[in-house]
Structure 1
Amino acid sequence: MCCEMRPRFGFGSTARRRIWPALCSSAKKLHVTVPPAPLVARKKNKVIVISGPTGAGKSRLALEVARRLGGEIVSADSVQVYRGLDVGSAKPSAEERSLVPHHLIDIVHPSEDYSAGTFFDDARRATQDVLDRGCVPVVAGGTGLYLRWFMYGKPDVPRSSVEIASSVRSELAGLRWEDAVELVLQAGDPKARDLDTNNWVRLSRRLEIIRSSGSPPSAFALPYSSFQEQQHDTKLTDSPMDCQVKELDYDFLCIFLACPRVELYRSIDLRCEEMLADTGRGLLSEASWLLDIGLQPNMDSASRAMGYSASRAIGYRQTMEYLLQCRENGGSSSPQEFLEFLTKFQQTSRNFSKRQMTWFRNEKIYQWVDASQPFEAIVQFICDAYNGVEEMVVPESLEMKRESCVHKSNDLKTYRSENRVFLGDEDCRQVLDWIRRTQGK
């Protein structure tokens, strides 16, 4: 059963139909000018959006909120769309998916590309389907670009033709990253230097837009007005400040689940270890399968970066690179090599979580909630906010200050991973035995 909304008290349409004609009749007798009847704004459907950095617990929160409100979850995760990539994407279990319907999970093969534009179409369709059945959409995930497009719409940028994409690949082929950035700068995009180093996919796309239209991406409109309230943008995408815009079409209730960064980093480090511990069904097995079906990890070159999204995903990319090295060595790896790979995986995951918090810090539509506070209190707050008639305000007891999560504290300056699963050589033996059996063929 979908949760019924609490009644709204006010001057309803039935009362207006009865009272307004009487007022008009009286006014005519008194020769009073009557203003036109007020227009009744169309009531927007509510959509809950729950996000947060990797390891913060957003999936658990979304599941419980959806269960209580009679909702369904629309995944906003760029890796969970892929079949077979379960552990590395922290995909909801079969049991969890039996409790609450989930959408946009296991919908494409890892050899297929899946773009933000495709997600927009699929997620909007799924959301409307949930609403049409009288249920509550709970959109949950940590892919910031997906969520931005979902709420605000697709940027009005031109599509790239096959010919232009091929021409751009040829222009960038063989260039060092610094030289490729300079080429795009000279072509007319001053923001090219703000991209993360070796993000060839984004750099290529920016050059494609210039070659297609003669203008940089920042010249094109984003569709919705909430972007005008943004004061800053991260280097992950273009600033929406100067866009021609319109109003949002849903009433979005947006939560960003965050926690102190040292606590978050400890959770991420342990999560990385646990993903590698189960060799039969864990991240190692899934990454090995990707290699077996012919996919290659993301490489630092323009030509290879145009490959598959699944092999670019954090965790899968590092694990595939490590297993390729093991295969080159005939299925051999030392404990030191494995632990170095684990350290790199943990560091990359922590860096990604920091980038997520930087991104969402600038998304003013989100209310930040402290994940370290009692789980029940957080769930109840979101359910009350959904059912309420007032503007959502996070109580002080649950609020997480944005700046405190992003700025580096003294604890972070001295942060070191403290493994809890792989403490020494002996703890690596099971993994190394599995590598010897499976990667030496």
Structure 2
Amino acid sequence: MTNHNFINQISSETPILISGQTASGKSQLALQIAEKKDCVIVNADAIQVFKNWRILTARPSISDEAVATHMLYGHIAAQIEYSVGHWLRDVQKILSIYPNPIIVGGTGLYFSSLTNGLIDIPDIPAQIRLEAKNRIQSEGFENLIAEIDPETSKKIDKNNPMRIQRAWEVMKATGRGLASWHRETPKPILELKNCKKILVDGDASIVNNRISSRFDQMLDNGLLEEASKNFSTWDEKNPSSKAIGAKELMAFLNDDISMEQLKEEVIVATRKYAKRQRTWFRSKMKSWIKLN
């Protein structure tokens, strides 16, 4: 079936979810559907929310945004934390106005939280995060594990440092274990059975080639100029600094690496990320319609 025929068969009377690894073509598919069905497009990529990296994060271009309404792209300042909870609340507001949007992106946690529900744990105070970090550095993880409630301790992966730290922080901040919070998971904002679900599952070799050519295109489109605008205010602790290629661009502008090294490091890192995405999507989205 051609893309044209597939798009014609899609109803605009239900929400459309489109996911897939980076450089798979999911954004182009979303734009084609939006143009044909007159739908708004909602971002489901955790890095494309930041306003300071349009080119690096492959956000839709200005010309793309002229074709269809795009929402939750580039609306967050570089230094602001934007959690999955923030995203869900924003999506819920959009759904109250546009009940059948196209939601597209590569952040699996966004989709799983949207369709499975997300526990609304209060934000962890900065001083507790700092205390956890300092204790891990001075004591390791064993003492933190001992202070986690027994029910949560049995369930978390003790080989995953981030899970241990998160469980300890929640216990410290709220006085309740993660397991207790999980029992109160609310109903999902959208149920999968009521959505059109599309997974753009590209061949690995094709995606890898696209990643390479896309980075060259980013450079042609002004990536170094974009990086230069971020250089004076660069802080690796900013949430937006997690964008793949951001720290490498700063290293290049600081004359720490060559252009050849920059290209190689960013392309390799992006391909590794695409592989992780591919593995996750194939495991978690088995019921989704697969396109390549």
TM-score normalised per structure 1: 0.56
Higher RCO structure (Cα 8 Å, ≥6 apart): 2
How far off its partner does 1:54 sit?
Answer: 0.2
Aligned pair partner of 1:286 in 215, 218, 226: 226
Distance 1:222 1:276 in 2: 48
| Cα 1:261–1:216 shift into 2, 3 Å | farther
Aligned pair partner of 2:125 in 161, 173, 198: 161
The structure with the larger Rg is: 1
Query: Any residues of structure 2 matched to 1:3-42 within 5 Å, and which?
Result: none
Q: Partner of 2:18: helix, strand, or coil?
A: strand
- Matched residue, 1:258: 201
Alpha-carbon contact 2:199-2:285 (below 8 Å) kept: no
Query: Any residues of structure 2 matched to 1:269-418 within 5 Å, and which?
Result: 269-278=212-221, 281-282=222-223, 284-293=224-233, 295-297=234-236, 307-324=237-254, 326=255, 337-364=258-285, 366-371=287-292
Alpha-carbon contact 1:256-1:366 (below 8 Å) kept: no
CA offsets 1:314-363 (integer angstroms, 9 cap, x no match): 12133223333x1xx6xxx5xxx332232121111011111112222232
- Matched residue, 2:5: none
Q: Partner of 1:276: helix, strand, or coil?
A: helix
Aligned pair partner of 2:98 in 130, 134, 141: 130
- Matched residue, 1:106: 74
- Matched residue, 1:221: 182
- Name the structure where helix makes up a greater proportion of residues: 2
Distance 1:322 1:185 in 2: 40
Which stretch of structure 1 is more off in the superposition, 202-211 or 54-63? 202-211
Structure 2 unaligned regions, length at least 5: 1-7
TM-score normalised per structure 2: 0.81
Q: Partner of 1:193: helix, strand, or coil?
A: coil
Identity of aligned residues (%): 24
Distance 1:312 1:247 in 2: 28
| Cα 1:267–1:249 shift into 2, 3 Å | closer
- Matching residue's letter, 1:46: T
Task: Check if 1:170 corresponds to 2:134.
Answer: yes
Alpha-carbon contact 2:117-2:187 (below 8 Å) kept: no
Which stretch of structure 1 is more off in the superposition, 362-371 or 264-273? 362-371
CA offsets 1:233-258 (integer angstroms, 9 cap, x no match): xxxxxxxxxxx675764412211101
- Matching residue's letter, 2:240: A
- Matching residue's letter, 1:267: R
Give the total of aligned pairs: 275
| Cα 1:125–1:296 shift into 2, 3 Å | same
Q: Partner of 2:73: helix, strand, or coil?
A: coil
Computed over aligned residues only, the root mean square deviation of the Cα atoms, in angstroms, reads: 2.9
Aligned pair partner of 1:267 in 204, 210, 214: 210
